């Protein structure tokens, strides 16, 4: 895997509020370099101990939304009931 080609910037078009309840998260990888990408979403205020980690953590599959000659662009739409994510 070409880790140097992985790109995400949280204060850009790679993470934005799409609707008042839904957030879009994007990631860029090298073309055909990665078979699948997951967003691991955690509510940091629910992590009181290690055994809580599995309960309050969501693993969401991202989908390819665009490709160029050099890159694949992945996206997922997500939200959180309490509007706090880590």
Residue 26: what pLDDT? 96
The domain of 45 spans: 3-78
In this structure, is residue 85 part of a structural domain?
Answer: no
In this structure, is residue 83 part of a structural domain?
Answer: no
Residue 48: what pLDDT? 59
Bridge partners, residue 71, by sequence = 30
Which pLDDT tens digit goes with each residue over 22-79? Answer: 889 999 999 999 999 999 887 666 655 555 555 567 789 999 999 999 999 999 998 8
Looking at residue 44, what DSSP letter applies? G
In this structure, is residue 74 part of a structural domain?
Answer: yes
Q: In whole angstroms, how far apart are CA 64 and each of 43, 54, 61?
A: 25, 26, 10
Q: How many domains does the chain contain in total?
A: 1
Give the domain CATH number at 44.
Answer: 2.60.40.10
Instruction: Supply the pTM of this predicted model.
Output: 0.80
* Mean of pLDDT values over 5-19: 91
């Amino acid at each position: 895997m070409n880790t140097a080609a992985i790109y995400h910037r949280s204060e850009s078009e790679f993470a934005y509020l799409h609707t008042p309840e839904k957030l879009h998260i994007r990631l860029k990888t090298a073309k055909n370099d990665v078979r699948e990408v997951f967003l691991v979403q955690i509510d940091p205020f629910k992590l009181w101990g290690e055994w809580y980690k599995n309960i309050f953590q969501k693993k969401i599959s991202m989908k390819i939304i665009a490709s160029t000659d050099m890159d694949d662009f992945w996206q997922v739409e997500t939200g959180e009931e309490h509007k706090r994510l880590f």
